[in-house]
């Protein structure tokens, strides 16, 4: 009699989680498209300003009260991870790396989310978890070395930093979503970070907006409205309903979805090595996730 109440939220968590992942899967290709007309800092941080404006409208219309001051440091962690860290670092990386390459590196995102999730939820990984985590990390480094001709490129370091930032922002946001609701978490995080970001974005405004192609504008609008705003409504809702580690497994689909989107939107050539490493990394993450959740006694 008790399984049904648990299974229904879990099912809805997977539904919301998949919608979030589907939205995020187009982020890297859309970022590369936006970079054809905009500065990487403007793309990485400017999308937060657009999303903050939408957040302000939504919070005012729905008459939401500002979170208590004691929660502000936790909202700051969310902002540092998913409002500033991942968008800015991924935009820097997409200047020099194909989106399909970025998809393989961000194959570690489910692992990063699980690590931050067990930390925030008071759980500890098993030894098997660390084995698969190390193997997946080794594969990522090997792929980066092979793609970079024997050296780690700046784009690879930026992508790895973006993965760590996103994992922290996802886990912290999911915990906050249990108290404030999914969409309120991203809205308040965006709004609270806007005063810091606005002067930086202003300095990186394009000199001539008229010269920017509609395609670049489309890419920027996608990462602003969908990647930075609407996608988090579904993603944080899914994580809060179904659990950080369990719903985080849906990110295993993201590299394949991103690679497919890169081929369609950017006409990127997909090498056998790229597809092979993506599949291997996803396999390691999947095996590691099976052993990730061990309750702390």
Q: What was the pLDDT predicted at 279?
A: 86
Do 123 and 244 meet the contact criterion of CB atoms below 8 Å apart? no
State the residue for tokens 């997909």.
270
Q: What was the pLDDT predicted at 280?
A: 86
CA-nearest of 222, 162, 235 to 27 is 222
Burial class (CB in 10 A: 0-12, 13-18, 19+), 173: buried
Do 242 and 14 meet the contact criterion of CB atoms below 8 Å apart? yes
Query: Strand ranges (DSSP E) for 168-255?
Result: none
- CA count, 13 A, side-chain hemisphere, 245: 24
DSSP 294: -
Q: What was the pLDDT predicted at 150?
A: 65
Q: What was the pLDDT predicted at 138?
A: 81
Do 245 and 289 meet the contact criterion of CB atoms below 8 Å apart? yes
User: What does the pLDDT profile of the chain (297 residues) look like in tens digits?
Assistant: 444 445 677 788 889 999 999 999 999 999 999 999 999 999 999 999 999 999 999 999 999 999 999 999 999 999 999 999 999 999 999 998 888 888 888 878 877 877 777 776 565 667 777 787 778 778 877 887 787 666 678 888 899 999 999 999 998 998 898 889 889 999 999 999 999 999 999 999 998 888 899 999 999 999 999 999 999 999 999 988 887 777 877 887 888 888 889 989 998 887 888 888 888 888 877 776 666 555 444
Axis-axis angle for helices 254-266, 27-34 (nearest 10): 30
Q: What was the pLDDT predicted at 107?
A: 77
Q: What is the pTM of this model?
A: 0.84
Q: How far apart are CA 101 and CA 107, in angstroms?
A: 10
Q: What was the pLDDT predicted at 290?
A: 65
Do 23 and 178 meet the contact criterion of CB atoms below 8 Å apart? no
């Amino acid at each position: 009699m008790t399984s049904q109440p648990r299974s229904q939220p879990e099912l809805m968590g997977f539904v919301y989680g998949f919608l979030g992942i589907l939205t995020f899967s187009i982020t890297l290709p859309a970022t590369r498209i936006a970079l054809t007309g905009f500065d990487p800092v403007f793309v990485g941080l400017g999308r937060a300003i657009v999303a903050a404006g939408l957040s302000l409208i939504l919070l005012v219309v729905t008459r939401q009260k500002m979170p208590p001051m004691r929660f502000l440091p936790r909202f700051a962690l969310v902002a540092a991870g998913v409002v500033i860290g991942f968008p800015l670092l991924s935009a820097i990386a997409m200047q020099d790396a194909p989106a399909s390459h970025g998809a393989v590196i961000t194959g570690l995102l489910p692992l990063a989310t699980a690590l931050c999730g067990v930390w925030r939820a008071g759980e500890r990984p098993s030894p098997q978890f660390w084995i698969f985590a190390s193997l997946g990390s080794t594969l990522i480094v090997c792929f980066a070395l092979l793609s970079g001709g024997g050296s780690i490129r700046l784009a690879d370091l930026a992508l790895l930093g973006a993965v760590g930032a996103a994992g922290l922002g996802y886990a912290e946001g999911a915990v906050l979503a249990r108290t404030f609701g999914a969409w309120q978490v991203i809205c308040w995080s965006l709004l609270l970070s806007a005063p810091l970001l606005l002067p930086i974005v202003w300095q990186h405004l394009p000199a001539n907006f008229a010269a920017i192609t509609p395609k670049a504008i489309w890419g920027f609008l996608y990462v602003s409205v969908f990647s930075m705003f609407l996608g988090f409504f579904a993603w944080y809702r899914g994580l809060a309903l179904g659990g950080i580690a369990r719903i985080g497994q849906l990110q295993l689909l993201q590299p394949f979805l991103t690679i497919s989107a890169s081929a369609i939107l950017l006409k990127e050539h997909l090498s056998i090595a790229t597809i092979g490493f993506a599949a291997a990394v996803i396999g390691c993450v999947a095996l590691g996730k099976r052993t990730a959740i061990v309750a702390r006694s």
